[in-house]
């Protein structure tokens, strides 16, 4: 092959690569300039934006909002908390505007403090839909929600894991900017920055310290993805030095997926800290032990904004088969627990968590099966609110 053969293709690829690196360097500078976390207690009014999303999203988000409004009714009456509907994060509108998050929707999101968001449909290459970026991924990046925190609990097995997934980097940072260099050669990119690894590690170790958890497990594939995963490990270890009471251990992502099914070992994991993609995969696997992804919620935390959502997708099949009303709202209710905790209502968060544990694991007066053999989403919401009332 002469160097001239692919000259144009290589020049074009280098230009694209340069643009990616420039935008990532700008992001690094922004991270360096960033201050501390917003103090919600200093706000006169806290605004909670609510986006229903697609598929079963509006159904399960409505239930979570209803429970949140029930728990925050005094704060709402006093004007301390406001719920604000944000429309337009639907797949139809995103396709019409040709953007993962249309500009007007983004402006509305940025006018809130925290967001309760239902699952959104992500177009996949070859699906016939335009290649727009996932709304989740775009929101995490636009609002700089760098930590995705995913708790999983199976009380009878002693499982109580909190997964800290880095949320703005790795394979997701420029996941829609990969390209075909020639018709034979394709390239995607994975990104790690010192600032990005440091801030997620700090949050995970702080969480472990505050909750008296003495172990953090790092998950990478640093044996193969040597530079980016290698740096992530190094940066996490540097943070770990400031937490001498906490033991840090390292796992490769493949063996971690195996150990999570090992009943003798798995209960000993506590905090699991990982780059974006491994966190995505491991958190679905972890949620399966608790009853499936439908039962798991998560917090996406940044310094200025935070967003709370289910860990699963929009389940369009359930809607097509007319089963949306039977969707399990537990993921969005668990997300509501994390929202309450994040805005400083730990007592309310604890009560809702207790009510959910009673409804989903202990008393189980209603079960959700995803079809007409089980309760509806709304009936389950009522059950949770009845349980909350009986707790107080
Ligand atoms: C999640 C989801 C998203 C992700 C998808 C919908 C883009 O799987 O929140 O885990 O990969 O992060
Ligand atoms: Mg996922």
Our answer on whether the CB atom of 311 is closer than 6 Å to any ligand 1 atom is: yes
For residues 188 and 175, the answer to whether their CB atoms sit within 8 Å is: yes
Q: Which residues pair with 50 in a beta bridge?
A: 85, 116
Residue 78 lies inside a defined structural domain of this protein: yes
Q: What is the pTM of this model?
A: 0.94
Ligand 1 centroid–CA 65 distance in Å is 22
Of 296, 326, 358, the position where a domain reaches its end is 296
Residue 12 lies inside a defined structural domain of this protein: no
Q: Do residue 167 and residue 122 come from a single domain?
A: no
Q: Do residue 185 and residue 286 come from a single domain?
A: yes
- What is the full per-residue pLDDT of the chain (392 aa) written as tens digits? 666 899 999 999 999 999 999 999 999 999 999 999 999 989 999 999 999 999 999 999 999 999 999 999 999 999 999 999 999 999 999 999 999 999 999 999 999 999 999 999 987 777 787 878 889 999 999 999 999 999 999 988 999 999 999 999 999 999 889 999 999 999 999 999 999 999 999 999 999 999 999 999 999 999 999 999 999 999 999 999 999 999 999 999 999 999 999 999 999 999 999 999 999 999 999 999 998 988 999 999 999 999 999 999 999 999 999 999 999 999 999 999 999 999 999 999 999 999 999 999 899 999 999 999 999 999 999 999 999 999 97
Ligand 2 centroid–CA 121 distance in Å is 12
Our answer on whether the CB atom of 280 is closer than 6 Å to any ligand 1 atom is: yes
Q: Do residue 307 and residue 279 come from a single domain?
A: no
Q: Do residue 219 and residue 282 come from a single domain?
A: yes
Our answer on whether the CB atom of 100 is closer than 6 Å to any ligand 1 atom is: no
Q: Do residue 112 and residue 122 come from a single domain?
A: yes
Phi and psi at residue 147, to the nearest 5° = -120, 125
Our answer on whether the CB atom of 137 is closer than 6 Å to any ligand 1 atom is: yes
- Of 213, 217, 120, give the one whose Cα is nearest residue 164: 217
* 3-state secondary structure (DSSP) of residue 152: strand
Residue 22 lies inside a defined structural domain of this protein: no
Q: Which ligand is nearest to the CA of 123?
A: 1
Q: Do residue 237 and residue 325 come from a single domain?
A: no
Residue nearest to atom 6 of ligand 1 (CA): 313
Q: Which domain holds residue 219?
A: 147-296
Atom from ligand 1 closest to the CA of residue 310: 9
Look up residue 329 and give its DSSP letter.
T
Q: Do residue 340 and residue 244 come from a single domain?
A: no
Q: Do residue 151 and residue 283 come from a single domain?
A: yes
Our answer on whether the CB atom of 134 is closer than 6 Å to any ligand 1 atom is: yes
Our answer on whether the CB atom of 136 is closer than 6 Å to any ligand 1 atom is: yes
Residue nearest to atom 3 of ligand 1 (CA): 136
Q: Do residue 129 and residue 238 come from a single domain?
A: no
CATH number of the domain that 141 lies in?
A: 3.40.718.10
Distance of CA 161 to the CA centre of its chain: 15
Half-sphere exposure of 90 (CA within 13 A, CB side): 10
Q: Do residue 254 and residue 356 come from a single domain?
A: no
Residue 6 lies inside a defined structural domain of this protein: no
Q: Do residue 195 and residue 292 come from a single domain?
A: yes
For residues 112 and 82, the answer to whether their CB atoms sit within 8 Å is: no
* 3-state secondary structure (DSSP) of residue 345: coil
Beta strands 46-51; 114-117: pairing state:
parallel
Atom from ligand 1 closest to the CA of residue 119: 6
Our answer on whether the CB atom of 313 is closer than 6 Å to any ligand 1 atom is: yes
Which one of 56, 122, 293 would you pick to mutate in the ligand 1 pocket, going by the greatest count of ligand atoms within 8 A of its CB? 122
- How many C-beta atoms surround the C-beta of residue 21 within 10 A? 13
Domain count, the chain: 2
Ligand 2 centroid–CA 83 distance in Å is 27
d(CA 81, CA 72): 8
Ligand 1 centroid–CA 280 distance in Å is 7
């Amino acid at each position: 092959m002469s160097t001239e053969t692919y000259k144009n293709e290589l020049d074009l690829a280098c230009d694209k690569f340069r643009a990616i690196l420039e935008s990532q360097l700008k992001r690094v500078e922004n991270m360096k300039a960033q201050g501390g976390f917003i103090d919600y207690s200093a706000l006169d009014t806290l605004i909670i934006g609510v986006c229903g999303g697609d598929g079963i999203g509006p159904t399960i988000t409505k239930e979570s909002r209803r429970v949140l409004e029930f728990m925050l009714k005094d704060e709402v009456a006093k004007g301390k908390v406001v719920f604000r509907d944000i429309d337009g994060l639907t797949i139809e509108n995103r396709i019409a505007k040709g953007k993962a998050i249309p500009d007007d929707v983004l402006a509305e999101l940025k006018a809130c403090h925290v967001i309760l968001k239902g699952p959104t449909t992500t177009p996949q290459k070859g699906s016939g839909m335009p290649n727009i970026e996932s709304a989740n991924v775009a929101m995490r990046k636009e609002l700089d929600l760098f930590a995705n925190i995913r708790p999983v609990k199976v009380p009878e097995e002693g499982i109580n894991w909190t997964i800290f997934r880095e949320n703005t980097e790795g394979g997701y940072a420029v996941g829609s900017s990969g390209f075909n260099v020639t018709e034979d050669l394709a390239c995607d990119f994975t990104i790690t920055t010192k600032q990005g690894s440091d801030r997620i590690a700090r949050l995970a170790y702080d969480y472990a310290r505050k909750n008296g958890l003495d172990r953090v497990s790092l998950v990478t594939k640093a044996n193969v993805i040597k530079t980016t995963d290698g740096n992530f490990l190094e940066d996490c270890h540097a943070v770990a030095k400031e937490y001498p009471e906490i033991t840090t251990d390292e796992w490769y992502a493949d063996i971690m997926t195996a150990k999570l099914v090992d009943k003798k070992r798995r209960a000993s994991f506590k905090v699991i800290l990982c780059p974006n993609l491994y966190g995505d995969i491991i958190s679905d696997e972890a949620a399966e032990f608790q009853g499936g992804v439908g039962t798991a919620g998560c917090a996406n935390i940044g310094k200025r904004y935070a967003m709370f959502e289910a860990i699963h997708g929009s389940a369009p099949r359930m809607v097509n088969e007319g089963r949306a009303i039977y969707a399990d709202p537990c993921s969005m209710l668990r997300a509501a627990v994390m929202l309450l905790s994040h805005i400083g209502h730990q007592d309310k968060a604890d009560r809702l968590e207790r009510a959910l544990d009673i409804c989903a694991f202990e008393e189980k007066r209603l079960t959700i099966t995803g079809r007409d053999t089980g309760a509806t989403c709304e009936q389950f919401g009522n059950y949770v609110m009845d349980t909350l009332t009986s707790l107080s």
